[in-house]
């Protein structure tokens, strides 16, 4: 049998041809550069073998043009495809499909005689997935690893005048087997390309480390230098903000030199104090600048430490992503990402699951974020054929595994922000990871080695897990499992759609147990693809390009929406991880305990702004500037508010906002980093009776009962047992009365319950049957009572629900629901999405107000960033526009709400705090829609009043709703009153309490 011929891009034993050794990305250097970004000639082919004869020499007549950097799938070539785990071809490593989308790129560059006095280096910052290079028709080399740079010395290939650069890029290569990350499959020259004019003697590499001595106060600067010339002399300097701190000379032998210097009393680098120094190195005419920071990362005792402190990582997983450009991300976007992270109290990033563009690390150095830099390596698809170790444990693949870590370390090792090297993601474990760990340690002993797939932490310094449930985490925390290494949760809190909930429980656990050194939320950004189509603007996800198989909207799982709006989850995370926690001293209304959760900073750069709020009024306010607690310590403060005369039935709160005293690099002076609220005692005054009104009458005919006077008209259906409308002063407010419901439009985090809920327990198919109906009319009121049986299709569990409506002549309707649960069989859902009622209001009532948690959406397990107050909005603005429509816009702890048309409002006051949703879409519509533009407004405003709604959890990948946030079938009672008020009168009216309630 003839052997299959291995193509170059199917040969895993080749890690590159003609490529230069990887080296540090300098922060700056003096060699001139020509950016090759911009328009290139482009020829798209179905396979490399279909390349035109002599294409590396020939002209480009008839070729297209493409902009570089870009991914060709977003320029109209090939097809968009998203999978989480699946390879798009048979698993037959190292071979790839014969149909292998290929792009030939060509660009002409004019070089001058002066330029040619130096050497010419061609640098690609990222090409997906493998590529060959020709210059002026001659073959230069080959490279792969999509998320790392490749450099070629093309001095011998270029000449004065026109030079032709040809790059042939292959979508599939043996490297693809190692690049099976959960993301869109995208190809092309997607990061910058440049030509470097490198001096004949140049600094080739400069590996800088800023260490600390045993006192953790003095710095030890060490540098490994590599020059182009075998032997030369150079100088170095260390500067801080332009001031020279140290300097010296060095001599290279066989191209290498080593410098070591002791620097007294340095300002140490941490994510909280990103103190940077600049190293300037000069040889002959070449100068390179590298930024460094003095800090020490070590395992000491059972923890990892930075500068001798056990730190806690409050992190996020970051992919390169842009909704219009795919994996092409600009410096400006990355900067705004880093600033947003810092503004949300995040202190760590994991580059999941590949090295980012090099300037990302510059930004993390500068603004202060701890980084786990991760090698471009994942072969998850092998898990699904139950041969997960196939190539991971095959020594033949060793070079390609090691190459991915080594080149990453060589490029990035100057960055103080990087505290761990991660060898990859989801690739099982085997000999090739042992080799990669060894290779990393040979290059760098100043950082830790991470890889979650090393589930026994055999070669890693930290024990890393993902999505570990709290119960398992508790065991880890107590050292009951996997030895003694410190633990990090490299992924948790799956931010898909509405959620994640329950983050506070994780944070509390991290803070309680020293073995747990924090975690990284999955993930930063929703990977939706910006689309304008037939007048709609929206974001596509897997399957929307007819891509099959796909994991659909599993890529819409970020805390940042595709349009860069922080989701409610990001605001929640900010509050949960806030470095200051504010609690009240038991039994005291004005004494607080502040806990400083910073690892290095005292609280002295913060101040407290406090105010007492009652509805929309601020009763008293003040500032406290004297914060001083050291890291990890507590401080007591007294809020000096004076006694005030509370107004009747107004609930007052002490609000405590913690802000920056001065502007920081990422936030303005006064920027709030946390907000906490404490309820103050209430002053209840019950009024004697409701205002009078004309006597009510009752008319009953053909199943309709009208209770009315000149002010109000309430219609009931005596057969269906329902209040069907409420009209006050001639205006229709309610268009359908309350009816029980236990269902909410499925959220992504309930995806594993959906089938049971909807196809077994049919919670969306509930109905009420009338058991009996009666009414009583008196001078003071009309009382309409109906007993109903509530249940879902083919279910034996349900409720006996007694509704009592009291209509008052003054124009109010009080609704009292007493629901007693029954079960006549055995099966029922373990818990329910909600327990409450749904009613509908006239669609003109679009202005909303509520007294409850806000301003944003909140659920029982996502409400720490949502204090109680009076908020104003509109029905539409109360919703959260998730890329994949689902339950949204809920508000907890609502005491009253109103919907109004600008002139009049329907006010609903509650006897106890309930949850609400106000929406222009019905639940059915939200459940059905795949994209926001498919949502059609219904004819009225849907109002949900929930006795309770379940939390959202993180179960799309992770912990379910915690027990305390699950709504169980239980008896319940709800009472609320509907009335009409003039716009502007809502608050006053809501504060009235009646004796007959």
Residues in touch with ligand IPT (CB under 6 A):
84, 182, 353, 425-426, 466-467, 491, 494, 522, 554, 557, 957
In the bound state, the residue with its beta carbon closest to ligand IPT is: 182
* Min CB(353)–ligand IPT separation in Å: 6
CA distance 545 to 271: 41
Nearest CB to ligand IPT, comparing residues 453 and 900: 453
Integer angstrom CA distances of residue 662 from 366, 625, 656? 18, 12, 18
Nearest CB to ligand IPT, comparing residues 119 and 426: 426
The DSSP result for 562-575, as a single string, is TTSPBPHHHHHHHH
* Min CB(387)–ligand IPT separation in Å: 17
What lies within 8 Å, CB to CB, of 516 at 6+ separation is 473, 476, 477, 487, 489, 509, 510
Nearest CB to ligand IPT, comparing residues 520 and 733: 520
Nearest CB to ligand IPT, comparing residues 465 and 909: 465
* Min CB(452)–ligand IPT separation in Å: 8
DSSP 3-state assignment of 392?
coil
What lies within 8 Å, CB to CB, of 162 at 6+ separation is 108, 109, 110
E strands of 352-394, at which residues? 370-374
* Min CB(100)–ligand IPT separation in Å: 25
DSSP 3-state assignment of 288?
strand
Residue 426 bears catalytic tag: yes
* Min CB(509)–ligand IPT separation in Å: 19
The answer to whether residues 650 and 989 touch, using CB atoms and an 8 Å cutoff, is: no
Dihedral pair phi/psi, residue 779, rounded to 5°: -65, -35
Nearest CB to ligand IPT, comparing residues 519 and 737: 519
Angle between helix axes 358-367 and 398-412 (nearest 10 degrees) is: 50
* Min CB(369)–ligand IPT separation in Å: 20
CA distance 342 to 360: 14
Q: Parallel, antiparallel, or unpaired for β 782-792 and 219-227?
A: unpaired
* Min CB(451)–ligand IPT separation in Å: 12
Active-site position among 10, 325, 491, 986: 491
CA distance 140 to 144: 14
Nearest CB to ligand IPT, comparing residues 325 and 426: 426
What lies within 8 Å, CB to CB, of 787 at 6+ separation is 770, 771, 772, 800, 801, 802, 803
Nearest CB to ligand IPT, comparing residues 452 and 892: 452
What lies within 8 Å, CB to CB, of 108 at 6+ separation is 162, 163, 164, 165
CA distance 820 to 459: 58
Integer angstrom CA distances of residue 51 from 55, 99, 136, 178? 7, 13, 17, 26
Nearest CB to ligand IPT, comparing residues 467 and 808: 467
Hunting for tokens 């059905």 — which residue is that? 928
Which of left, alpha, beta for 794 (phi over 0: left; psi -120 to 50: alpha)? left
Counts of helices then strands in the chain (DSSP H, E):
10, 59
CA distance 893 to 913: 5
Which pair of structure tokens corresponds to residue 411?
Answer: 């490029």
CA distance 103 to 397: 27
Active-site position among 378, 426, 727, 768: 426
What lies within 8 Å, CB to CB, of 306 at 6+ separation is 270, 295, 296, 297, 370, 419, 599
Nearest CB to ligand IPT, comparing residues 84 and 287: 84
Nearest CB to ligand IPT, comparing residues 539 and 554: 554
CA distance 139 to 133: 6
Cis peptide bond prior to 189, omega within 30° of 0: no
DSSP 3-state assignment of 942?
strand
**Cα 262 to chain center, whole Å?**
41
CA distance 353 to 332: 21
Residue of 642, 953, 933, 982 lying closest to 811 (CA atoms): 982
The conformation of residue 96, written as its DSSP 8-state character, comes to: -
DSSP 3-state assignment of 536?
strand
* Min CB(956)–ligand IPT separation in Å: 8
DSSP 3-state assignment of 300?
strand
Nearest CB to ligand IPT, comparing residues 569 and 837: 569
* Min CB(959)–ligand IPT separation in Å: 12
* Min CB(425)–ligand IPT separation in Å: 5
How many degrees, rounded to 5, is the angle at CA 405 between CA 127 and CA 484?
A: 140
* Min CB(764)–ligand IPT separation in Å: 27
The answer to whether residues 338 and 417 touch, using CB atoms and an 8 Å cutoff, is: no
Nearest CB to ligand IPT, comparing residues 166 and 405: 405
The conformation of residue 554, written as its DSSP 8-state character, comes to: G
Largest CA-CA distance found in the chain, in angstroms, rounded: 108
Nearest CB to ligand IPT, comparing residues 101 and 552: 552
* Min CB(359)–ligand IPT separation in Å: 23
Paired residues of 869 in beta bridges: 852
* Min CB(378)–ligand IPT separation in Å: 7
> Among all residues, which ones are annotated catalytic?
426, 491
């Amino acid at each position: 049998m003839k052997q299959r011929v291995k193509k170059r891009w199917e040969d895993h034993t080749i890690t590159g041809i003609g490529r230069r050794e990887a080296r540090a990305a300098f922060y700056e250097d003096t060699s001139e550069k020509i950016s090759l970004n911009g328009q290139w000639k482009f020829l798209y082919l179905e396979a490399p073998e279909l390349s035109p004869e002599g294409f590396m020499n020939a002209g480009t007549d008839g070729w297209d043009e493409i902009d570089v950097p870009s991914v060709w799938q977003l320029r109209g070539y090939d097809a968009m495809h998203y999978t989480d785990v699946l390879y798009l071809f048979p698993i037959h490593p190292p071979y790839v499909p014969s149909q292998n989308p290929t792009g030939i790129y060509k660009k002409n560059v004019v070089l001058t005689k002066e330029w040619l006095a130096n050497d010419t280096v061609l640098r690609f910052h990222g090409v997906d997935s493998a590529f060959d290079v020709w210059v002026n028709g001659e073959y230069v080399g080959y490279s792969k690893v999509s998320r790392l740079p490749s450099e070629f010395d093309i001095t011998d290939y270029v000449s004065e005048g026109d030079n032709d650069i040809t790059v042939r890029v292959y979508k599939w290569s043996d490297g693809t087997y190692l690049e099976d990350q959960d993301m869109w499959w995208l190809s092309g020259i997607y990061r910058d390309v440049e030509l470097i004019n490198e001096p004949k003697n140049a600094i080739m590499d400069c590996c800088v480390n800023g260490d600390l001595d045993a006192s953790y106060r003095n710095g030890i600067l060490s540098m490994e230098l590599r020059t182009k010339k075998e032997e030369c002399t150079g100088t170095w300097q260390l500067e801080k903000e332009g001031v020279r701190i140290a300097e010296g000379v060095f001599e290279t032998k066989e191209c290498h030199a080593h410098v070591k210097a002791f620097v007294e009393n340095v300002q140490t680098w941490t994510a909280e104090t990103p103190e940077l120094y600049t190293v300037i190195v000069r040889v002959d005419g070449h100068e390179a600048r590298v930024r460094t920071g003095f800090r020490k990362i070590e395992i000491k005792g059972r923890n990892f430490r930075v500068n001798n402190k056990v730190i806690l990582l409050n992190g996020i997983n970051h992919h390169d992503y842009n909704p219009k450009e795919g994996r092409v991300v600009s410096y400006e976007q990355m900067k705004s990402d880093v600033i947003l992270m810092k503004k949300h109290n995040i202190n760590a990033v994991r580059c999941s699951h590949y090295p980012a563009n090099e300037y990302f690390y510059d930004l993390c150095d500068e603004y202060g974020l701890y980084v786990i830099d991760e090698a471009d390596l994942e072969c998850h698809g092998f898990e699904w054929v139950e041969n997960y170790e196939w190539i991971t444990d095959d020594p033949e693949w060793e070079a390609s595994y090691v190459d991915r870590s080594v080149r990453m370390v060589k490029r990035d090792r100057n960055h103080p922000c990087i505290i761990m090297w991660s060898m990859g993601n989801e690739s099982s474990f085997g000999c090739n990871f042992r080799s990669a760990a060894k290779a990393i340690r040979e290059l760098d002993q100043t950082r830790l080695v991470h890889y979650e797939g090393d589930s026994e932490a055999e070669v890693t310094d930290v024990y890393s897990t993902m999505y570990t449930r709290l119960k398992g985490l508790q065991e880890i925390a107590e050292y009951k499992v996997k030895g003694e290494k410190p633990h990090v949760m490299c992924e948790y809190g799956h931010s898909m759609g509405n959620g994640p909930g329950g983050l506070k429980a994780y944070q509390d656990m991290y803070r309680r147990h020293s073995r747990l050194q924090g975690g990284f939320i999955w993930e930063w950004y929703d990977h939706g693809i910006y689309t304008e189509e037939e007048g709609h603007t929206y974001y596509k996800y897997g399957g929307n390009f007819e891509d099959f198989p796909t994991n659909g909207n599993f890529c819409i799982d970020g805390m940042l929406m595709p349009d860069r709006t922080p989701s409610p989850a990001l605001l929640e995370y900010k509050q949960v991880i806030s470095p200051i926690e504010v609690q009240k001293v038991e039994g005291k209304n004005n004494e607080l305990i502040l806990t400083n959760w910073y690892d290095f900073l005292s609280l002295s750069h913060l101040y407290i702004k406090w105010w007492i709020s009652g509805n929309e009024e601020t009763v008293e306010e003040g500032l406290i500037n004297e914060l001083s607690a050291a890291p990890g310590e507590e401080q007591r403060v007294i809020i000096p508010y004076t006694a005030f005369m509370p107004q009747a039935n107004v609930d007052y709160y002490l609000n405590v906002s913690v802000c920056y005293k001065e502007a920081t690099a990422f936030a303005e002076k006064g920027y709030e980093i946390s907000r906490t609220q404490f309820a103050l005692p209430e002053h209840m005054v019950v009024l004697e009776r409701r205002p009078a009104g004309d006597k009510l009458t009752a008319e009953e005919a053909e199943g309709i009962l009208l209770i009315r006077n000149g002010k109000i008209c309430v219609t009931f259906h005596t057969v269906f047992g329902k209040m069907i409308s409420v009209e006050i002063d001639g205006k229709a407010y309610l268009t359908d009365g309350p009816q029980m419901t236990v269902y909410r439009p499925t959220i992504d985090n309930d995806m594993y319950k959906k089938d049971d809920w909807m196809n077994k327990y049919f919670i969306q198919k509930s109905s009420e049957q009338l058991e009996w109906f009666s009414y009583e009319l008196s001078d003071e009121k009309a009382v309409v009572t109906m007993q109903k049986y509530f249940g879902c299709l083919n279910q034996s569990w349900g409720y006996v629900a007694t509704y009592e409506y009291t209509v008052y002549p003054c124009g109010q309707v009080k609704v009292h629901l007493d629901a007693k649960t029954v079960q006549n069989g055995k099966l029922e859902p373990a818990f329910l999405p909600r327990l409450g009622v749904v009613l509908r209001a006239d669609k003109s009532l679009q202005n909303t107000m509520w007294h409850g948690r806000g301003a944003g959406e909140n659920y029982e397990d996502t409400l720490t960033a949502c204090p109680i107050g009076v908020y104003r909005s509109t029905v539409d603005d109360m919703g959260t526009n998730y890329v994949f429509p689902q339950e949204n816009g809920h508000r907890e702890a609502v005491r009253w709400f109103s919907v109004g048309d600008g002139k009049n409002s329907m006010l609903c006051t509650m006897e106890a705090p309930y949850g609400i949703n106000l929406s222009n879409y019905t639940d059915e519509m939200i459940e059905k829609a795949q994209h926001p533009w498919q949502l059609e407004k219904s004819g009225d405003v849907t109002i949900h009043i929930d006795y309770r709604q379940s939390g959202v959890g993180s179960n799309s990948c992770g912990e379910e709703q915690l027990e305390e946030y699950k709504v169980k079938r239980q008896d319940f009672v709800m009472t609320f009153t509907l009335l009409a008020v003039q716009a502007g009168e809502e608050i006053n009216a809501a504060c009235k309490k009646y004796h007959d309630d």
